[in-house]
């Protein structure tokens, strides 16, 4: 029940953003210099309360101040973490690393499980991109599209590396870090 409700909420957000994008609205940002960690922790908390049987390991090193849209980064992160739990192997932990570096923000989510086929990788960030044979599963295939649009709106991007060891999505936003 909880998982369905959680996914439905997410799905509605994604569809609304998709429609807005098509209507030319784009993604507008409300930047804030508040610490990002609580927003990320809230997403982890929400998904932990739904995926009680799963292990989510987090490493946060967000000492420097940056200016991002917290709600949008939380939405992006929720899509990536939700994917790791939904599409990753159930018997492997999901690892979250968020850090500020000299160049900006880096946020990665990795999971175990079968690697994403090369043919699917090319289209992964396009709307309605679920690979073949998956059409009957719950999602619409909008999550990564919306997430990548949020990354782009921040001047960043999301990259994916998928091997038999792990599938890892990494958000990188190059930015001038603000003085403390
Ligand atoms: N962490 C992951 N591990 C393995 N496969 C993944 C992962 N994330 C995404 N994928 C693959 O990429 C596809 C597209 O992901 P995307 O988030 O855009 O859509 P979805 O999860 O299927 O549906 P939605 O996010 O709209 O509910 C997924 O259907 C899945 O096949
Ligand atoms: Mg998804």
In terms of Cα–Cα distance, which of 46, 42, 110, 111 is closest to 73?
A: 42
DSSP code, position 37: H
Does residue 164 contact residue 112 with C-beta atoms inside 8 Å? no
Could you tell me the distance, in angstroms and rounded to a whole number, from the CA of residue 86 to the centre of ligand 1? 8
Ligand nearest to the CA of 11: 1
CB 177 within 8 A of CB 66: yes
Atom of ligand 1 lying closest to residue 140 CA: 26
For 31-58, how does the pLDDT look when each residue is reduced to its tens digit (9 = 90+)?
999 999 999 999 999 999 999 999 999 9
Residue of the CA atom closest to atom 1 of ligand 1:
84
CATH number for the domain whose boundaries are 2-177: 3.30.565.10
What is the residue-wise DSSP string for 82-97? HHHHHHS-TTS-EEEE
Distance 143 CA to ligand 1 centre (A): 7
Residue spans of the domains in the chain: they are 2-177
pLDDT tens profile 88-134: 999 999 999 999 988 899 999 999 999 999 999 989 999 887 766 65
Q: What is the pLDDT of residue 57?
A: 98
Distance 145 CA to ligand 2 centre (A): 9
């Amino acid at each position: 029940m909880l998982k369905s409700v959680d996914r439905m909420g997410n799905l509605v957000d994604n569809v609304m953003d998709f429609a807005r994008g098509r209507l030319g609205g784009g993604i507008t940002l409300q930047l804030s210099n508040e610490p990002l960690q609580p927003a990320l922790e809230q997403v982890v908390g929400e998904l932990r309360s739904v995926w009680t049987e799963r292990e989510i390991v987090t490493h946060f090193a967000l000492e420097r101040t940056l200016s991002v849209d917290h709600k949008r980064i939380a939405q992006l992160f929720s899509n990536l973490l939700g994917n790791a739990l939904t599409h990753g192997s159930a018997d492997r932990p999901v690892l979250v690393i968020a850090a500020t570096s000299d160049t900006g923000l880096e946020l990665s989510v990795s999971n175990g499980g079968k690697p994403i086929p090369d043919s699917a990788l090319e289209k992964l960030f396009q709307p309605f991109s679920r690979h073949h044979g998956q059409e009957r599963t719950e999602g619409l295939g909008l999550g990564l599209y919306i997430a990548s649009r949020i990354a782009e709106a921040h001047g960043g991007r999301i990259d994916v590396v998928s091997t038999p060891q792990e599938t890892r999505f990494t958000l990188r936003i190059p930015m001038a870090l603000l003085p403390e």
